[in-house]
Structure 1
Amino acid sequence: MTRFIVIVLVIANVVTAIGVVNARHEHRQLFVQLTRLEHARDELNIDFGRLQLEQATWAEANRIDQIARTRLGMQFPETADIVVIRQ
C-alpha cells in the first residue's frame, strides 16, 4: 500500500514538474511577444508623432496662402471689388 502511494506521489510530482516547465516556457514566449509588440507600438507612436508634425507643417496658414498665390493665382480682392449685400 505504501509503495502504491509513493508511486502515485512520484507520478504526481513528475506531472507537476512538467506543468511548471510548460508554464515557464509559455511565459517566456509570451514575454518575448510582449516585448516585440511594445517595440512595434513605440515605433508606431514615433511615426504618428512625425506624421502629426508633418501635417501641422503642411497645414500652416502661410504655406496655404503661398500655394494659393503661386500655383492657383489667387489674390485678395481690391476694396473696389468687394460688394456688401444686405437683406
Structure 2
Amino acid sequence: MTRLNLFLLALAMICSAAVVTSQHRARKAYGELQKEQEVARQLDVEWGQLQLEESTWAMHSRIEAEATTRLGMQMPGTPRTQVILPDGKAVGRTTVKDDPL
C-alpha cells in the first residue's frame, strides 16, 4: 500500500510540473502573439501611409507639373495629335483632351 501511495504521489508531482510548464509556455506564446499582432498593426498603418504617398506621387496634375517644369515637356500641338482606336486604326489628326486614355 505504501508503494502505491508513493507511486501516486510521484505521478501527481510529475503531472503538476507538466501543468506548470505547459501554462508557462502558453503564456509565453501568448505574449509573443501579442507582440506580433502589434507589429502587424504597425505594418498595416505603414502600408496605408505608403499607398497614400503613392497616390499623391501618381496624381495626374503632379506628373504634368513635373513634366513641364523639371523636364521642359509640353502638350503636342493639334497637327501632331492622333486618336488611336482599340482596333489599331488612327482617326484623323484631332486633339486628345477629352480622351480618358
TM over 0.5: yes
Name the residue aligned to 2:53.
54
Q: In structure 1, list runs of 5 or more residues that go unmatched.
A: none
How far does residue 79 in structure 1 lie from its aligned partner after superposition? 1.8
How far does residue 75 in structure 1 lie from its aligned partner after superposition? 0.4
1:4 and 2:17 equivalent? Answer: no
Query: Where do 4+ consecutive residues of structure 1 move more than 3 Å?
Result: none
Percent identity over paired residues: 31
Structure 2 SS opposite 1:72: coil
Q: CA RMSD in A?
A: 1.3
Structure 1 pair 27–83 and aligned structure 2 pair: CA distance change class (3 A): closer
Task: Please report the TM-score for the alignment, with normalisation by the length of structure 1.
Answer: 0.90
Q: How does 1:4-83 map to 2 (within 5 A)?
A: 4-80=3-79, 82=80
Q: In structure 2, list runs of 5 or more residues that go unmatched.
A: 83-89, 91-101
**Larger fraction in helix:** 1
How far does residue 4 in structure 1 lie from its aligned partner after superposition? 0.7
CA shift digits 1:3-57 (9 cap, x unpaired): 1110000000000000000000001100100000000000000000000000000
Structure 1 pair 83–69 and aligned structure 2 pair: CA distance change class (3 A): closer
Structure 2 SS opposite 1:66: helix
Could you tell me which amino acid in structure 2 is paired with residue 39 of structure 1? E
Distance in 2 (CA, whole Å) between partners of 1:4 and 1:66 is: 91
Q: Which has the higher contact order (CA 8 A, sep 6+)?
A: 2
Task: Please report the TM-score for the alignment, with normalisation by the length of structure 2.
Answer: 0.78
How many residues end up aligned between the 2 structures? 83
